[in-house]
Structure 1
Amino acid sequence: MTDPIKTRREGAILEVTLDRPKANAIDLTTSRIMGEVFADFRDDPDLRVAILTGAGEKFFCPGWDLKAAADGDAVDGDYGVGGFGGLQELRDMNKPVIAAVNGICCGGGLELALSADIILAADHATFALPEIRSGTIADAASIKLPKRIPYHIAMELLLTGRWLDTTEALNWGLINHVHPAADLIAQAWDMARLLASGPPLVYAAIKDVVRDAEDAKFQDAMNHITKRQLASIDRLYSSEDQLEGARAFAEKRDPIWKGR
C-alpha cells in the first residue's frame, strides 16, 4: 500500500498532497499521518508556508472515507494530533497554509480547505456540504462557514447540500482565486513563494490575533495586543525583525527577514 500523503519541500515551502485513489477520501490512518505532517511543518523553523492539494484531476477531497467507516473506522475515532485531516484542530498553527483545490471538494474536504488561510481553485472545481443527505451534520463547517460567507448562503449550503461551481464560490468569497487546472499548482507555488519572502513573525502574530479575536470583544482583543498578552505579539515586538523592518524602510531597501 502506497503512502497516502506525498510531500515536496523546496526552501521554506512544503507541498502536501493527499493521494488516496480513487477519490482522496480520508480514513483514520490518513488523518493521523496528516496531523504528523502538519505538526512537523508547524514546528520546523526552516519552513514558512504550506500548500495542501489532492492528487489527480478529479478530486481534491470528498472528506470522510465511508468505505473505511463501513469496515470499522469509527466516525468519532482518533483522528490524530490535528483533528480531522490533521489541520483543522491543530493548535498554534501560526504559518500560512494555501489550499490548492484541484477538483471535487465536499464534506470534510471542504472543511479541510476552510482550515487553510488562502484557497485557490482549478476552474472545474466544485464545492458542497452533502452531509444533510446522509442524515448527519457537517460539524466544522457549521461552525466556520457562517463566519466566512453571508449567513443565509452558508445556511442554504448546510441545509440543502447543493453544489457550487467556482464562479459562485468566488462570488460569495468562499475562495480567493480561480485558475486553469493546468496552472493551479504553479499559481499556488507563486503565492507560497510570495508569502515565504515575507516576515514570519508577523504572519504568526496575524494568525494568533485573528484566532484570539474571533469571539472576543474588540477592546478585549486590542488589550491582548497592546499589553503583549499573546506570545506571538510579545515575540514580534521584541524581535530583530521588527527593527529590521524599520531600518529597511528608512534605508529604502528590501528587508531581510530572519524570523527572530
Structure 2
Amino acid sequence: MTDSPIRTETRGHVLEVTLDRPKANAIDLATSRIMGEVFRDFRDDDALRVAIVTGAGEKFFCPGWDLKAAAEGDAVDGDYGVGGFGGIQELRDLNKPIVAAVNGICCGGGLELALGADIILAADHAQFALPEIRSGTVADAASVKLPKRIPYHIAMEMLLTGRWIDAEEAARWGVINQVHPAGKLMEEARALADHLASGPPLVYAAIKEIVRDAEGSDFQTAMNKIARRQYPTVDVLYSSEDQLEGARAFAEKRDPVWKGK
C-alpha cells in the first residue's frame, strides 16, 4: 500500500501492518478507517493466517488518538471505520492471531491497539501509559480490558493516574508477553508469526471465538456451547479435514499438513 499512513507487506501466510504517520504514528479518523479495511481484508483472505502490527521508526509505536486532528475537527466519537479505533478492537469474527510488535512509546489508544492483539512483544526501550486522565477523557477500551487481564489495582493505578511504566514492568504485570532488544524486535515478531502461521488455522479460529465469547459467560455455559458445537468455528473444526489430519499425523509420527479446511 503506497501514499498511505499504513504500509502492508505479505510474507507467505503473514501480513505485516506498519502504522507510518510521522512524527508520532498518531491515529486520526481517516487512518483508523484504513486500518479497519486492512484488517477486514486480512480476516477475509484465506491465504493469510497471522498478522503483525507495528509502528514505523524507533521512537513511537502509537500514542493513540491524534489530538491535532481533533483540534482541527476530527470528532472523538466520529466514524472510526469497520473495526473501530485502530481497526481491530471491534472487528467482528477476527479469528486469526495478531502479534503486536511495540517498537517505542505506546500510550492511550496506542496501548488499546496493542491490547487488541493476541500476543504483545516490546522493544526494551518501549514505554506504556494511559494518560487520558490528564486530558479529561476516558481510556474506554482499556477501562474494559485491562482490569480483566492484569491485577486490578495495577490496572486502576494506570487508569486513574496515567503513570508510565517501562517494558520490564509491563512484562512483570502481564501487560505484554516478552521484551527484546530493539534491534531484534521484528526478527522475534516474525519468527513468532511464522511459527503461528505453520499451525492449524481452524483451531486458532475456534480458540479465539471461544475465548472472546467466554469472557462474558460462565464456565459451564461456554463448555456446553462447545460440546453442542454452537460456536460456528468449533462446528467447522470438528467436521474438517484438518481434524482428521491431526490424528493421522500423530498416529503416523509425522508433521501435520494443515489446509484450513
Name 1:117's counterpart in structure 2. 118
Alignment of 1:256 with 2:257, yes or no, is yes
Alignment of 1:25 with 2:35, yes or no, is no
Q: How many Å apart are 1:2 and its aligned residue? A: 3.4
Name 1:144's counterpart in structure 2. 145
Alignment of 1:105 with 2:109, yes or no, is no
| Residue-by-residue CA offset, 1:84-128 (whole Å, 9 max, x unaligned) | 001100000000000000000000000000000000000000000
| Residue-by-residue CA offset, 1:168-205 (whole Å, 9 max, x unaligned) | 10100111111110110111000000000000000000
CA distance in 2, matches of 1:218, 1:51: 31
CA distance in 2, matches of 1:250, 1:44: 31
| Residue-by-residue CA offset, 1:55-106 (whole Å, 9 max, x unaligned) | 0000000000000000100000000000000110000000000000000000
Name 2:210's counterpart in structure 1. 209
Name 2:231's counterpart in structure 1. 230
What pairs up with 1:1-260 in 2 under 5 angstroms? 2-260=3-261
Question: SS of the residue aligned with 1:17?
Answer: strand
CA distance in 2, matches of 1:138, 1:232: 31
Q: How many Å apart are 1:158 and its aligned residue? A: 0.2
CA distance in 2, matches of 1:21, 1:119: 23
Question: SS of the residue aligned with 2:217?
Answer: coil
TM-score of the aligned structures, taking structure 2 as reference length: 0.99
- Residue segments in structure 1 that go unaligned for 5+ positions in a row: none
Structure 1 runs (4+) greater than 3 angstroms displaced: none
Q: How many Å apart are 1:27 and its aligned residue? A: 0.3
| Residue-by-residue CA offset, 1:118-172 (whole Å, 9 max, x unaligned) | 0000000000000000111000000000011000000000000000001110100
CA distance in 1, matches of 2:88, 2:64: 13
CA distance in 1, matches of 2:83, 2:125: 29
Q: Which amino acid aligns with 1:175?
A: I
| Residue-by-residue CA offset, 1:214-257 (whole Å, 9 max, x unaligned) | 01111100011000000000000000000000000000000000
Q: How many Å apart are 1:210 and its aligned residue? A: 0.1
CA distance in 1, matches of 2:216, 2:81: 26
TM-score of the aligned structures, taking structure 1 as reference length: 0.99
Identity value in percent: 78
CA distance in 2, matches of 1:16, 1:167: 25
Q: Which amino acid aligns with 1:163?
A: W
Question: SS of the residue aligned with 1:204?
Answer: helix
Question: SS of the residue aligned with 1:15?
Answer: strand
How many residues align structurally?
A: 260
- Residue segments in structure 2 that go unaligned for 5+ positions in a row: none
Q: How many Å apart are 1:47 and its aligned residue? A: 0.2
CA distance in 1, matches of 2:86, 2:22: 16
